[in-house]
Every structure is written in C-alpha cells, then in structure tokens.
Structure 1
Amino acid sequence: MGGLKEFRIYFDNPLATYYGGQVVSGYLSVKLDKEKTMRGIEVRFRGRAEVEWKESRTVRDSNGKSRTVWETYSACESYFENRKYLVGSEQGDMALPVGNHAFPFILTLPNNLPSSFEGQYGNVRYTVKATMKRPWKFDHDAKAAFTVLSQLDLNSERNIQEPYKAVKEKFLCCCCCKSGPITLIATVPVTGFVPGQDIPIFLEVDNTNTDVVISNIICKLKKTVWFSARHLGHDKVRKTEDKVASVETNEMVGLTGCGNWTLKLKVPSVPASYLKHCNIIDIKYELGIKGVIDGPHANMKTEIPIIIGTIPLVSFFPNMVPASAPPMVPRDSDLPPSFNEVVGGGEPALGWNVNPTPKSSPYPSKKDVVPGPYPPGGSAPYPPPPGGSSPYPPPPGGSAPYPAPPGESSPYPPRPGGSSPYPTKRGPSDPYAPPTVLSLNPPPGVHGPQPPTAGLSRTSAPYAPSAPFDPNPPYPDMPPPSYEECVFGRKDIKENDDSDHTHGEMGFAPRYPMYQFNQ
C-alpha cells in the first residue's frame, strides 16, 4: 500500500454501541513506513436510512415490439452528516512523516435516532469514514460502522400486559360428510417481550369430534419488514418475512383425543418493533401457531401479535438477573490496540504525541510549552493549572467562563458565548462533549492528554465503556443487559461511494440489548 501499513478506525467503546444523545469517540490509527504527501485527512460521520430495489416490466414500442425495462424504487432519510479535517486542509499539501499516528475524534449523537437495522431492501446505518486526500493519486479511505439504539419501553405500550388467547376451529369435509370441529387454542400471558426472554405458550387441542390425526403443533416467531420507496412519483411498498425462532410439540393428538402443552420460545437478538423515528422502514412481529393435520386436509393456522421492546415489563423484573458478563466487557480479542501499541516507539508524530503527559495531570509542564498564540479558532488547548499562570497569551476579545458540569468546577478557561470543547470527563458517555467531530491535536512541542485507550492493556478488566449508559435510568432496579449481534448475521456495508481503497471491516451486524432471566 505504498508505505501505508495501517489506516483504521477504532472506537473507545469496543462494542461500538450507543443511544441517541450519547457521545461517539475513538481515533484513526495511521501507521507509515514511508512519508506521505497529502492534502489532509478528513473524517465524516453519517447516519441515514436507505431503501432500494429494482423491478422489471415489459413495454411495447410503437412498432409493437416488446422489451424489458428496469425501474429503481428508492428512498432515503438523512439524520446527520458531519465532516471535519483531523489534519491538513483542502488548501495546500502537507507531509505526514514516518511513524505511528493516532488522530482522535468525538461526536455527540442527535436525539430521537432510529435503531440500526440491516435488511434485504434497506437499512438504517451509522458510519465513520476517514479519507486521506492525496493530490493526483487515489485517496485512501477507512470506514467503520457503529450501532445506535432507540429505546422501546414496553411499559409505555397499550394493551400488551393482558393475556392474549387465539382460538381456531376447523371443520373437515369429505364428499358430503362433515366432521369436527377441531379446536386449537393458543394463549400467552402478555404480548410484549425483550430479547433474551422466553415467550410462554400454552396450547390446547380438542380433536374429539374427528377421525384424523394432529401430528404436530409448530410455533414460530416471525418478523415482517415493510420497505417504502418511490419511482417517478409512484409510491410502492415491498415486504419481507423471516423466521426469528421456532418451537414445536413433536407429539401427536390421535383420533378423538385431546392434548395440552406449555412451550417456551426464547427471543434472540433482534431489532425492536416499529423502528421508531424511521419513516421508510417498519418492523412488526407475530407468533404463528400451526396445527399439522395428516391427510389431504389444510393445516390449522392462527396468529398472535407480539411487540419486541428494549425495556421489559416491570412485572418481569423479579425474574431478571444481570447479564452473565458485565454489560460492556468484550473478549480480549475485541479490544482495540492500546495507545502504546498504536504510537509506541519512533519519533513523535502528528496526532497524539508518543510521550504524553501522565494521565494524572492534564497540564503540560512548562518546559514542554512553546509560547505563542492560540491555535486557529482562538481557544487554548490547555487551561492554566490551579494556582499557576497559563503559558499562553489570553485569547482575543477577553474571556467568559465555560459552563461547568453540575457539582463540579470547570478548570477550563472561559470563552465568550460558547461551551467547552474539552470533555470534563474522559469517556464516550460524556454529556459535555461537543456536538461535532473534534480533532484534539496539541500544538507543536506540547504533550497532549492521553487518548481514552492510553494505558489500557488487553488483560485489564473490566473494560466497561459507558456508551450504552443512561445517567438517569427510568428503572434503576432493572438489571442491565448485554449487547449481542443480530441473530441474522453480518451484512455487507460497502456503499456506492466506497472505493477499492477502502480499509476496514465491511461485514457488520447491529447489536441489540439482550437480557438474562432466571430459568
């Protein structure tokens, strides 16, 4: 790759899972064994939903000849798109020297985002893409997807906390004879569940009035997705159906017999119902019950509507236990490289310095400071230490205080009318982080604060980033979930604007909350 050994995006949260309003942070790792000339490196955050499919139809021309034409139905919703240079700019060239470089970024997500979703004809996808822009050469791209979750609290849904009974009767006819009915009854105690929870299904079959055999009863949880799109002003909807999970009795009900069973069907990691905040994709679930009748008779079928949420009904809290592993503790192999692994050895490079100030002090020592004006933007990268004076001159126009988080005093210098670009707490859940991508490159000669992964070894435990953490949980006593990849597996996330020079994992599966219940 012409001296480029690594060009990859890492998230501070190894599971890369967040809720709307939380902070996404990480860094771009660039490893060079040869100097690179470039315009700079730009990072783009994007969140959007897309739907697309093609349909063919036959048309006839004026001569009566028929031909096949293809029509593309498509739709798109954009939730955000932010761009910023981590180093360099559109103007002029720069040289990135040999070495290991780590360029941090940070973004506060908007509220009310739909959950990540990957389907056959559309998706809701959130990505970070970094581009090394090179004059007169192919650009290098690095891309990574992350999961965003939208809460669906089952306790706020109507009519799901009551039992639901589905009854199906069937008469059998042969020539002029009629027998029956066969009666199939399926009951569930509620109709709202979360991933990891068992759906109890109570089945009854009355076959006393026929001479046929019911060989099996199959219960299947089915997901139906509707994709809405348009072609030349014509709206159309395409539907897909997938089996999520199933269970069956494997027992028959013989002639003039009866039977009853209690089955349990566990809900795997799947997206919540409705796909809230998305107007072009909709998701619904239902529990289908099928009684298999031997002979030339049609099977019996009935359905029960099911809602899959992200917060379970409070009535089930006593049966819940914390996830078997800490909610955000990944396997060792899931951890991104430590900061020292990224920038260890070699000469100081752009981005994070290879000899950062110890984590206990966010202030540079005076011998490391190069006096001079503030960097572009008129804000100081470092406040004066308590009781000391800043080596930087005051910014033009005076100063005004940064807001301090509740219960804390801000050590940062004031700025007129603005909020601090420096998180008061290091970590992906910082509520005071800025709402745009931010490069935290110290000025030349100044050692910056350590990046979030500094000092983290692969054996340190627990590594529990607080990205999927609600500082004001609606149910403080609810045991936390784990976050597992969707049961339908990874999908290819390569898009039209991705080139053959795009680095990164192109297979992605969203993660959804998975709860653990007592058996």
Structure 2
Amino acid sequence: MAEVKLNLYPNVDGTCTFFPGDTIKEFYIHIFGEATANWSSRSCDTTTYYTGKEPLLDFKFTVLGKHKGPKFILESGVYKCHYTFKLPDNIPYSLVISGGQFSSKSGTINYHVEAVLVMSWLNIGDRVGFTVIREDDLNLYPELKLPLKSVQNKIFSFFFKKDEILRMSVSIPYSGFTVNQRIPITIEYKNESTVDIHHTDIRFIQVLTLVLPREGNPKKKKKEMVISSESTAGVLANSSKTIKTELVVPKVFKSNDKFCMVVSINYLIEVVADVKSGCHLNKKIRFPITIGNVPIRTNDQVRSYDTYRPRGIAYNNDSPPSFDEALNFVR
C-alpha cells in the first residue's frame, strides 16, 4: 500500500506560506509508471546517447475542484482521502538494471503515486514510489507447455575428399521454467564424419534488449550474457550418441518481454558442439525459454490465456468515488 502525505502547514523556511485570499484550483491524485532505456555508442571521437521511454500506467483522479475550472476556498481543517486503484494485469514488474555486467547500458521500470494541490500561484505536491511484483503462472501460457526440438546438420568440407556430415538434434519437453528448476535437455548426435566432437557445452543466456521506439525506425541495443554453463560428453567420429542432461535455472530476473517494449529481458538455452578441428567452427542450437514464478503442471489442463496483450497506457475502468466517498472531513 502506498501512502502520500501533504503537509500544508507553513514551514519555517516559508515554502508553504499562504496569504489572505489564496484560492485552490484543483487537488488531484496521479498514479503513473514508465519504462526507460539508456545506452551509448561510440564511433571514432563521437559518443551518441540513446534514451527510450514507454508509458506503462497513467491515471489521474481529481479529488477537489476541476482542471482549469473555477477557483474555490477550502475551509480550515484536516482532510483525508481514501482511494483504491486496481493495477492492470498487463504491466511489467519494477526493474532497475545499471552498470556492472551491462556496462553503459541501463533500464528502469518505475511506478509512483503523487498528490498535487494546485494553488493560484504554485503547485504543492508529494510523491512516493511503489513496487510492482508479478507472480506469473506459466500454466497461463499454453505455448510454453509445448516441446521444442531442433535438428541441424554441420557439413565438414575437405579439399582432398568428399564432404562429411554431423547431424545434431536438441530437444526440451517444454519452455517455461522457474528459478532453481532443472531443465531436461536431450542431445542426439549422428556423426558421419571423421571429426571428433570433444565435448558439448550447455549455456543459460540472459538477453537484455533496450529500444528507442522511433516511428518507422526503432533503434535497438542487445546485450547477451552467459549466466551459467555446463559441459557434457561429445561424440567420436563415425559414431552416434544420445545424451540426457539437465541445467539448473539460476537466480535471475523473471522474463518480462511480453509486457514491456523498451526494456525487455528474455532467456536462451544454447547447446554447442565443440569441434576443435582445424578451421571448422563449432555448431550451436538455441531455444528461447521463459522464466516465471509458478512451474508448469504437466498433467493438468492449462487454461487458455491471451499471451500478447496490447501494450501502452493502461487506465482504470472503474468509476471514481464521489467527493463524499473520497473525503473524510475531520474537524
């Protein structure tokens, strides 16, 4: 619960001093949230700074008076306003990313509530921040329950003999996970080449995407970071092997790429066949995964849910309380 207090008693420095005949235009409550992305790029001797912003929440409720309406005088006394506001379902959680591993890149998602008294010659206000926490149930997204599988071939080209093929298949039973949950991974090799695969690397990758949402030409900046990794067996030349392994989800931010445009976090599982043979490059397969709070129930029927809700400014559709309901006048 957020609480905002306006002290209208004169302060010793005179900042809230009033004069005879002072009138009030409006007293309102403003609830708002915004996502901000910042990064810079350097070219030769020039550094360019980028800032992207996205409004997430914007609701204003007038308690007293009317915007640009007639002035009025409020009798002396103590006024208390009790007001509740239901947050929309499609807003992202509060977030602060800056410095450290992200270098000059930063992203924030902040929410505030403020109360403002509009006087004839100045505005007096007070503001407090509040935190939004999402308890995302992965079962609400049916597509996360589907298995993922990718089969790719790597061709080894030689000058003195015909090409050779390594067939690599990677699969996971579903793509929604929670922190500390184990991700089951199945790797199948069919190596029809004379090249040994020494080992297989499995990586948990976090992707931070920052966006400057310019119309028709948005500017994006991505930062990938390997959060954790493990190594397992490879496969010898002219042989086949099936490898079943697991990767534990580390303690990370929850995925928020479905709810915010300018600051998004998502994750990848990357499986790399380590070749280490002359000029031949490693072969890798990637899967997108989602990190939430409530794990997938594999035996329960998943409720249908609209995954991609419209973004933008969210408003409360409830009717605001009347003056008598909102204000409790205490003499």
Gaps of 5+ in 1: 1-23, 29-35, 59-66, 85-104, 131-140, 318-414, 423-441, 445-519
How has the CA–CA distance of structure 1 residues 83 and 416 changed in structure 2, closer, same or farther, with 3 Å as cutoff? closer
Please report the RMSD computed on the Cα atoms of aligned residues, expressed in angstroms: 4.5
1:111 matched to 2:88? The reply is yes
Deviation at 1:156, TM superposition (A): 3.0
1:126 matched to 2:111? The reply is yes
8 Å Cα contact 2:39/2:50 also seen in 1: yes
Aligned to 2:205: 222
1:312 matched to 2:290? The reply is no
Q: How many residues align?
A: 265
8 Å Cα contact 2:2/2:129 also seen in 1: no
What is the CA–CA distance in structure 1 between the aligned matches of 2:262 and 2:216, rounded to whole Å? Answer: 15
How has the CA–CA distance of structure 1 residues 68 and 151 changed in structure 2, closer, same or farther, with 3 Å as cutoff? same
8 Å Cα contact 2:40/2:47 also seen in 1: no
What is the CA–CA distance in structure 2 between the aligned matches of 1:234 and 1:204, rounded to whole Å? Answer: 41
Deviation at 1:182, TM superposition (A): 1.8
What is the CA–CA distance in structure 2 between the aligned matches of 1:274 and 1:109, rounded to whole Å? Answer: 20
1:247 matched to 2:230? The reply is yes
Gaps of 5+ in 2: 6-10, 17-28, 63-81, 98-104, 116-125, 301-320
Aligned to 1:149: 134
What is the CA–CA distance in structure 2 between the aligned matches of 1:211 and 1:279, rounded to whole Å? Answer: 47
What is the CA–CA distance in structure 2 between the aligned matches of 1:70 and 1:157, rounded to whole Å? Answer: 42
State the Cα deviation string for residues 151-204 of structure 1 (Å, max 9, x = none).
Answer: 35443333x323222212222223232353222221111122233322100122
What is the CA–CA distance in structure 2 between the aligned matches of 1:240 and 1:232, rounded to whole Å? Answer: 23
Aligned to 2:177: 193
Same amino acid, percent of matched pairs = 20
Deviation at 1:227, TM superposition (A): 1.9
How has the CA–CA distance of structure 1 residues 149 and 232 changed in structure 2, closer, same or farther, with 3 Å as cutoff? closer
What is the CA–CA distance in structure 1 between the aligned matches of 2:243 and 2:210, rounded to whole Å? Answer: 37
TM-score (norm 1): 0.42
Aligned to 1:289: 271
What is the CA–CA distance in structure 1 between the aligned matches of 2:253 and 2:50, rounded to whole Å? Answer: 27
What is the CA–CA distance in structure 1 between the aligned matches of 2:277 and 2:271, rounded to whole Å? Answer: 19
8 Å Cα contact 2:2/2:113 also seen in 1: no
8 Å Cα contact 1:115/1:271 also seen in 2: no
Aligned to 1:19: none
Question: Counterpart of 2:131 in 1: which secondary structure?
Answer: strand
1:258 matched to 2:240? The reply is yes
8 Å Cα contact 2:203/2:229 also seen in 1: yes
Letter in 1 for 2:252: V
How has the CA–CA distance of structure 1 residues 314 and 416 changed in structure 2, closer, same or farther, with 3 Å as cutoff? same
State the Cα deviation string for residues 113-171 of structure 1 (Å, max 9, x = none).
Answer: 222233433221235799xxxxxxxxxx997663432635443333x323222212222
State the Cα deviation string for residues 358-399 of structure 1 (Å, max 9, x = none).
Answer: xxxxxxxxxxxxxxxxxxxxxxxxxxxxxxxxxxxxxxxxxx
8 Å Cα contact 1:188/1:200 also seen in 2: yes
How has the CA–CA distance of structure 1 residues 228 and 37 changed in structure 2, closer, same or farther, with 3 Å as cutoff? same
How has the CA–CA distance of structure 1 residues 146 and 218 changed in structure 2, closer, same or farther, with 3 Å as cutoff? same
8 Å Cα contact 2:206/2:265 also seen in 1: yes
Aligned to 1:268: 250
State the Cα deviation string for residues 380-433 of structure 1 (Å, max 9, x = none).
Answer: xxxxxxxxxxxxxxxxxxxxxxxxxxxxxxxxxxx96754679xxxxxxxxxxx
Question: Counterpart of 2:34 in 1: which secondary structure?
Answer: strand
Structure with a larger share of its residues in strand: 2
Residue 261 of structure 2, aligned match among 271, 279, 302:
279
What is the CA–CA distance in structure 2 between the aligned matches of 1:286 and 1:416, rounded to whole Å? Answer: 50
What is the CA–CA distance in structure 2 between the aligned matches of 1:231 and 1:314, rounded to whole Å? Answer: 40
Aligned to 2:121: none
What is the CA–CA distance in structure 2 between the aligned matches of 1:416 and 1:288, rounded to whole Å? Answer: 56
TM-score (norm 2): 0.62
Aligned to 1:47: 33
Deviation at 1:301, TM superposition (A): 0.9
Deviation at 1:217, TM superposition (A): 0.8
Question: Counterpart of 2:168 in 1: which secondary structure?
Answer: strand
Question: Counterpart of 1:178 in 2: which secondary structure?
Answer: coil
Deviation at 1:229, TM superposition (A): 0.8
8 Å Cα contact 1:206/1:258 also seen in 2: yes
What is the CA–CA distance in structure 2 between the aligned matches of 1:183 and 1:227, rounded to whole Å? Answer: 36
